[in-house]
């Protein structure tokens, strides 16, 4: 049997499961669960894989809602990653329900390629992409140690082969001042809210003089209790992002100085804590990206190399991509004016276009698995590119 015929068969497997996969995706969509609480989604996904011949380990890496499904053995060990966490108040406004169904669909269809050529397909359930960087934790705990390459597809407004994602770190800050009657004894108070507002002003000034693509943004989570008391406490959470790790380190210091300066100016005491999880920038393996592109194009989709809108955020897939050759392409499920993390995008994640994106992405992933297991020389090329760009 030739490769194209096998690709037609794996693609046919996805079509045959259209109803099951869309049901699974819609079920997760209508039961949104926040990061590390994705009990239902993880259970349904692992169960689907188990019913289809995968061996399952639940709660891997000491994370109750992480899992690993495995079919076949030996090399290459190809991981397809599933995300399934939702956003507070917005539900599946990042479309992770589609990522989940895409991953298990691609995994089950890939069995045909594994049966024919050998190798190992792994479907790795990676919780809490949005809030905790689950993959970064799993990467530290060895989840990708014996993996040769990792792939996932994220819903978006364009079909792209690569994704640009920034290094990112969170900063929690608190100012401690002194309460006093805001009118009768203002001179007795130290205003913790003013310290926070000055920090924002300093960061706004800093922003004029940072590199392109770097980002600093934050919110105030405590700004006082009542207007007639000088706020004795303020708190905020900020995210600092940069194109590479070195610049992120440089920026960290500059951002922190904004808070230190505000503390000095106001007399409030500063306490801060950098986040435990640092999102790494995403390294796109272009050899893998090219295979994925060709397979998507064979389904009649137009795939661009990168997002023409030049949009970028951060993803914990970045941390995986530092360890093993990886791709994180996008599949269009909504018109280009629809923003991710919006109610409109949440609707798109349950739409007909969403299901079509799921099916096409699953087909292209499974066809890419065919390319990899059938052509050991491509696996070598994927790894060479990874080593050369280290
Ligand atoms: Zn998101
Ligand atoms: Zn997402």
pLDDT at 309: 76
Query: For residue 94, how far is its CA from the centre of ligand 1 (angstroms)?
Result: 5
pLDDT per residue as tens digits for the range 10-56: 999 999 999 999 999 999 999 999 999 999 999 999 999 999 999 99
What average pLDDT does the structure give for the chain? 97
Largest CA distance in the chain: 88
Centroid of ligand 1 to alpha carbon of 341 (angstroms): 6
For range 254-277, the mean pLDDT:
97
Using the mean position of ligand 2's atoms as its centre, give its distance from the Cα of residue 83 in Å: 8
Quickly state the pLDDT bin for 191 (edges 50, 70, 90). very high
SS (H, E, C) the chain: CCHHHHHHHHHHHHHHCHHHHHHHHHHHHCCCCCCCCCHHHHHHHHHHHHHCCCEEEECHHHCCCCEEEEEEECCCEEEEEECCCCECCCECCCCHHHHHHHHHHHHHHHHHHHHHHCEEEEEEECCCCCCCCHHHHHHHCCCCCCCCEEECCEEECCCECCCCECEEEEEEEEEECECCECCCCHHHCECHHHHHHHHHHHHHHHHCCCCCCCEEEEEEEECCCCCCECCCEEEEEEEEEECCHHHHHHHHHHHHHHHHHHHHHHCCEEEEEECCCCECCCCCCHHHHHHHHHHHHHCCCCCECCCCCCCCECCCHHHHHCCCCEECCEEECCCCCCCCCCHHHHHHCCCHHHHHHHHHHHHHHHHHHHHHHHCHHHHHHHHHHHHHCC
Å from CA of 99 to ligand 1 middle: 11
How many Cβ atoms sit within 10 Å of the Cβ of residue 275? Answer: 17
Question: Is the pLDDT reported for residue 77 higher than 70?
Answer: yes
pLDDT, tens digit (0-9, with 9 covering 90-100), for 121-153: 999 999 999 989 999 999 999 999 999 999 999
Q: Give the closest ligand to the alpha carbon of residue 342.
A: 1
Cα 4 to averaged position of ligand 1 atoms, centre (Å): 35
pLDDT on residue 122: 98
pLDDT level of residue 307 (50, 70, 90 thresholds):
confident
Question: For residues 337 and 385, what is the distance between their CA atoms, to the nearest angstrom?
Answer: 35
Report phi then psi at 220, rounded to 5.
Answer: -95, 125
Closest CA to 156 of 296, 319, 10, 12: 296
Q: What is the mean pLDDT of residues 59-65?
A: 98
* Residue 286 CA, ligand 1 centroid: distance in Å: 23
Q: How confident is the model at residue 69 (pLDDT cuts 50, 70, 90)?
A: very high
> pTM of the entire structure?
0.93
Q: How far is the CA of 244 from the centre of ligand 2 (A)?
A: 20
What pLDDT, on the 0 to 100 scale, is given for residue 308? 76
CA of residue 338 to ligand 1 center, whole Å: 14
Distance 341 CA to ligand 2 centre (A): 8
Pick the ligand that lies closest to the CA of residue 135.
2
Task: Determine what percent of the chain is predicted with pLDDT higher than 90.
Answer: 97
The predicted structure's pLDDT at residue 142: 98
Mean pLDDT of 277-297: 97
CA of 300 to the centre of ligand 1 (A): 27
Q: How confident is the model at residue 312 (pLDDT cuts 50, 70, 90)?
A: confident
- Residue 96 CA to ligand 2 center (angstroms) comes to 6
Ligand nearest to the backbone CA of 98: 2
pLDDT at 1 over 70: no
Look at residue 270 and tell me whether its pLDDT is greater than 90. Answer: yes
What ligand is nearest to the CA atom of residue 154?
A: 2
Q: Is the pLDDT of residue 115 over 80?
A: yes
Q: How far is the CA of 161 from the centre of ligand 2 (A)?
A: 16
What digits encode the pLDDT tens for the residues 332-376? 999 999 999 999 999 999 999 999 999 999 999 999 999 999 999
Please check the confidence at residue 230 and state whether its pLDDT lies above 90. Answer: yes
> How far does the centroid of ligand 2 lie from the alpha carbon of residue 345, in Å?
11
């Amino acid at each position: 049997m030739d490769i194209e015929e096998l690709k037609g068969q794996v693609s046919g497997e996805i079509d045959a499961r259209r109803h099951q996969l869309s049901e699974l995706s819609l079920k997760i969509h209508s039961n949104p669960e926040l990061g590390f609480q994705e009990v239902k989604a993880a259970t349904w996904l692992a169960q689907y894989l188990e019913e289809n011949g995968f061996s399952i380990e639940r709660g891997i890496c000491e994370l109750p809602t992480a899992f690993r499904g495995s079919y076949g053995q030996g090399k290459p060990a190809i991981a397809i990653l599933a995300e399934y966490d939702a956003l507070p108040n917005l539900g599946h406004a990042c479309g992770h329900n589609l990522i989940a169904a895409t991953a298990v669909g691609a995994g089950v269809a890939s069995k045909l390629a594994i049966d024919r050529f050998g190798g190992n397909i792994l479907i790795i359930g990676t919780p809490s992409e949005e809030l905790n960087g689950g993959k970064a934790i799993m990467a530290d705990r060895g989840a990708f140690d014996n993996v040769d390459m990792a792939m996932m597809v994220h819903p978006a407004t364009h079909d792209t082969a690569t994704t640009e994602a920034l290094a990112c770190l969170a900063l929690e800050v608190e100012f401690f001042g002194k309460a006093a009657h805001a009118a009768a004894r203002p001179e007795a108070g130290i205003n913790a809210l003013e310290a926070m507002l000055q920090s924002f002003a300093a960061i706004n000034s800093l922003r004029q003089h940072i590199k392109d693509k770097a980002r600093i943004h934050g919110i105030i989570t405590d700004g006082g209790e009542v207007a007639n008391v000088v706020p004795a406490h303020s708190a905020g959470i900020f995210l600092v992002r940069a194109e590479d790790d070195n610049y992120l380190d440089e920026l960290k210091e500059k951002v922190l100085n904004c808070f230190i300066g505000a503390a000095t100016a106001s007399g409030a005491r500063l306490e801060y804590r950098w986040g435990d999880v640092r999102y790494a920038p995403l390294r796109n393996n272009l050899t893998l990206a090219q295979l994925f592109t060709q397979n998507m194009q064979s389904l009649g989709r137009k795939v661009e190399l990168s997002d023409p809108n030049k949009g970028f955020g951060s993803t914990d897939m970045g941390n995986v991509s530092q360890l093993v050759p990886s791709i994180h392409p996008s599949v269009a499920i909504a018109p280009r004016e629809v923003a991710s993390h919006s109610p409109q995008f949440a609707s798109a994640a349950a739409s007909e276009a969403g299901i079509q994106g799921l099916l096409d992405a699953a087909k292209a992933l499974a066809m890419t698995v065919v390319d990899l297991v059938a052509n050991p020389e491509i696996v070598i090329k994927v790894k060479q590119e990874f080593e050369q760009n280290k």
